Amino acid sequence: MFTCVLDPKSRVTLCDQLYDALKEEIGRTAMGTRMPSKRQLAEHLHVSTATVEAAYGRLISEGLCESRPRSGIFVTAQADLVRTARTENEQPIRWDFGTGAADAAHFPYATWARLMREVLSEQNTEFLLLGDPQGAANLREEIAGLLHRLRGIDVPPEAIVLGAGTESLAAALVPLIGREKLFAVEDPGYSRVRRILVSGGVRIAPTPLYQGAIDVRALYMSGAGAAYVTPSHQFPTGKEMHMEQREALLRWAGETGGYILEDDYDSEFHFSGVCEPALRAMDTGGQVIYMNTFSRTLAPGLRLSFMVLPEALIGRYRMMHATCSVPGFEQETLRKFIAGGYLERHIARMRVVYRSRLQVLEKTAQALRLGEVAPCSAGLHVLLNVSGTVPAQELVPLAAQAGVRLMRLCDYGVMRGKQDERVVLLGFSGMDEAAIQEGLEALKRAWF
Amino acid sequence: MFTCVLDPKSRVTLCDQLYDALKEEIGRTAMGTRMPSKRQLAEHLHVSTATVEAAYGRLISEGLCESRPRSGIFVTAQADLVRTARTENEQPIRWDFGTGAADAAHFPYATWARLMREVLSEQNTEFLLLGDPQGAANLREEIAGLLHRLRGIDVPPEAIVLGAGTESLAAALVPLIGREKLFAVEDPGYSRVRRILVSGGVRIAPTPLYQGAIDVRALYMSGAGAAYVTPSHQFPTGKEMHMEQREALLRWAGETGGYILEDDYDSEFHFSGVCEPALRAMDTGGQVIYMNTFSRTLAPGLRLSFMVLPEALIGRYRMMHATCSVPGFEQETLRKFIAGGYLERHIARMRVVYRSRLQVLEKTAQALRLGEVAPCSAGLHVLLNVSGTVPAQELVPLAAQAGVRLMRLCDYGVMRGKQDERVVLLGFSGMDEAAIQEGLEALKRAWF
The predicted structure's pLDDT at residue B416? 64
- Does the CB of B380 have a partner CB in chain A at under 8 Å? no
Q: How confident is residue B80, by pLDDT bands cut at 50, 70 and 90? A: very low
Residue B205 has pLDDT above 60, yes or no: yes
Supply the ipTM of this predicted assembly. 0.77
Q: How confident is residue A11, by pLDDT bands cut at 50, 70 and 90? A: low
Minimal Cβ distance to B81: which of A57, A165, A322: A322
The predicted structure's pLDDT at residue B428? 94
Do A315 and B129 make contact, defined as CB atoms within 8 angstroms? no
Chain B nearest CA to A6, separation (Å): 25
Q: How confident is residue A416, by pLDDT bands cut at 50, 70 and 90? A: low
Prior bond of A236 cis (ω within 30°): yes
Do B175 and A201 make contact, defined as CB atoms within 8 angstroms? yes
Task: Find how far residue A382's CA is from the centre of its chain.
Answer: 15
Q: Is B319 helix (H, G, I), strand (E, B) or coil?
A: helix
Q: Which residues of B touch A314 (CB under 8 A)?
A: 61
Average pLDDT over residues B205-215: 95
Q: How confident is residue A18, by pLDDT bands cut at 50, 70 and 90? A: confident
CA-nearest residue to A179 within chain B is B201
Better-scored residue on pLDDT, A60 or B423: B423
Residue A420 has pLDDT above 80, yes or no: no
pTM across the whole model: 0.79
Average pLDDT over residues A235-239: 92
Interface-testing mutation among B80, B318, B332, B350, with chain A (most A C-beta atoms within 10 A): B318
Average pLDDT over residues B82-108: 69
- Does the CB of A414 have a partner CB in chain B at under 8 Å? no
- Does the CB of A86 have a partner CB in chain B at under 8 Å? no
Average pLDDT over residues A176-192: 94
Do B300 and A311 make contact, defined as CB atoms within 8 angstroms? no
Report the mean per-residue pLDDT for chain A. 89
Average pLDDT over residues A10-25: 78
The predicted structure's pLDDT at residue A25? 77
Q: How confident is residue A1, by pLDDT bands cut at 50, 70 and 90? A: low
How many whole angstroms separate alpha carbon A224 and alpha carbon B187?
A: 37
The predicted structure's pLDDT at residue B417? 61
Average pLDDT over residues A15-30: 78
- Does the CB of A326 have a partner CB in chain B at under 8 Å? yes
Q: How confident is residue B440, by pLDDT bands cut at 50, 70 and 90? A: very high
Of the listed ranges A77-86, A218-227, A358-367, the one predicted with least confidence? A77-86
Do B325 and A168 make contact, defined as CB atoms within 8 angstroms? yes
Report the mean per-residue pLDDT for chain B. 89
- Does the CB of A337 have a partner CB in chain B at under 8 Å? no
Q: How confident is residue B91, by pLDDT bands cut at 50, 70 and 90? A: low
- Does the CB of B85 have a partner CB in chain A at under 8 Å? yes
Do A301 and B129 make contact, defined as CB atoms within 8 angstroms? yes
Chain B nearest CA to A368, separation (Å): 31
pLDDT tens by residue, A312-326:
899 999 988 989 999
Minimal Cβ distance to A199: which of B105, B195, B320: B320
User: How many other C-beta atoms are found inside a 10 Å radius of the C-beta of residue A312?
Assistant: 13
Using alpha carbons, list the distances in angstroms from residue B352 to B106, B268, B346.
Answer: 12, 12, 10
- Does the CB of B106 have a partner CB in chain A at under 8 Å? no
| Packing angle of the helix pair B166-177, B191-199 (nearest 10 deg) | 40
Do B116 and A120 make contact, defined as CB atoms within 8 angstroms? yes
Do A299 and B129 make contact, defined as CB atoms within 8 angstroms? yes
Q: How confident is residue B45, by pLDDT bands cut at 50, 70 and 90? A: confident
Where does residue A39 rank: exposed (0-12), middle (13-18), buried (19+ CB within 10 A)?
Answer: exposed
**pLDDT over 70 for what percent of chain B?**
95
Residue B73 has pLDDT above 90, yes or no: no
Chain B nearest CA to A18, separation (Å): 19
Q: How confident is residue B87, by pLDDT bands cut at 50, 70 and 90? A: very low
pLDDT tens by residue, B137-146:
999 999 999 9
Residue B203 has pLDDT above 90, yes or no: yes
Q: Chain B window 292-311: which residues touch A at a Cβ cutoff of 8 Å?
A: 299-303, 311
How many whole angstroms separate alpha carbon A212 and alpha carbon A21?
A: 44
Better-scored residue on pLDDT, B71 or A251: A251
The predicted structure's pLDDT at residue A82? 28
pLDDT tens by residue, A372-391:
999 888 899 999 999 999 99
Q: Chain B window 194-213: which residues touch A at a Cβ cutoff of 8 Å?
A: 195-196, 199-201
Do B318 and A61 make contact, defined as CB atoms within 8 angstroms? yes
Q: Which residues of A touch B190 (CB under 8 A)?
A: none
Q: Chain A window 132-151: which residues touch B at a Cβ cutoff of 8 Å?
A: 132-133
Average pLDDT over residues A417-445: 91
Helix (H) or strand (E) holding B383: strand B381-386
DSSP B87-138: -TTSPPPSEE--SS---TTTS-HHHHHHHHHHHHHTT-GGGGS---TT--HH
The predicted structure's pLDDT at residue A426? 96
Chain B nearest CA to A140, separation (Å): 15
The predicted structure's pLDDT at residue A91? 66
Q: Chain A window 158-177: which residues touch B at a Cβ cutoff of 8 Å?
A: 158, 164-165, 167-168, 171, 174-175
Residue B151 has pLDDT above 60, yes or no: yes
Do A323 and B78 make contact, defined as CB atoms within 8 angstroms? no
Residue A333 has pLDDT above 80, yes or no: yes
Do A323 and B315 make contact, defined as CB atoms within 8 angstroms? no
pLDDT tens by residue, A97-156:
998 777 888 899 999 999 999 999 998 888 998 889 999 999 999 999 999 999 999 999
| Sheet strands side by side (includes A226-229) | A160-163, A305-308, A288-293, A259-263, A226-229, A182-187, A203-210, A213-214
Better-scored residue on pLDDT, B169 or B413: B169
Minimal Cβ distance to A109: which of B82, B123, B199: B123
CB B82 within 8 A of CB A130: yes
How many whole angstroms separate alpha carbon B201 and alpha carbon B193?
A: 13
User: How many other C-beta atoms are found inside a 10 Å radius of the C-beta of residue B446?
Assistant: 18
The predicted structure's pLDDT at residue A92? 85
Q: How confident is residue B83, by pLDDT bands cut at 50, 70 and 90? A: very low
Better-scored residue on pLDDT, B31 or A165: A165
The predicted structure's pLDDT at residue A85? 38
Minimal Cβ distance to B311: which of A61, A123, A127: A61
CB B384 within 8 A of CB B407: no
Q: How confident is residue A80, by pLDDT bands cut at 50, 70 and 90? A: very low
Sequence-separated (6 or more) residues with CB below 8 Å from residue B349:
B106
Chain B nearest CA to A30, separation (Å): 19
Residue A81 has pLDDT above 50, yes or no: no
pLDDT tens by residue, B50-64:
888 888 888 887 778
Q: Chain B window 47-66: which residues touch A at a Cβ cutoff of 8 Å?
A: 57, 60-63, 66
Where does residue B445 rank: exposed (0-12), middle (13-18), buried (19+ CB within 10 A)?
Answer: exposed
Residue B78 has pLDDT above 50, yes or no: no
A-B interface: how many C-beta pairs under 8 angstroms?
195
CA-nearest residue to A78 within chain B is B322
Residue A406 has pLDDT above 60, yes or no: yes
Residue A247 has pLDDT above 80, yes or no: yes
Sequence-separated (6 or more) residues with CB below 8 Å from residue B23:
B59, B64, B87, B89
Helix (H) or strand (E) holding B404: strand B404-405
Minimal Cβ distance to B199: which of A61, A116, A175: A175
Of the listed ranges A49-58, A183-192, B210-219, the one predicted with least confidence? A49-58
The predicted structure's pLDDT at residue A83? 30
Residue A88 has pLDDT above 60, yes or no: no
Minimal Cβ distance to B301: which of A78, A315, A327: A327
Q: Which residues of A touch B321 (CB under 8 A)?
A: 167
Using alpha carbons, list the distances in angstroms from residue B386 to A144, B404, B425.
Answer: 48, 15, 10
How many whole angstroms separate alpha carbon A324 and alpha carbon A298?
A: 20
Q: How confident is residue B339, by pLDDT bands cut at 50, 70 and 90? A: very high
The predicted structure's pLDDT at residue B335? 97
Q: How confident is residue B11, by pLDDT bands cut at 50, 70 and 90? A: low
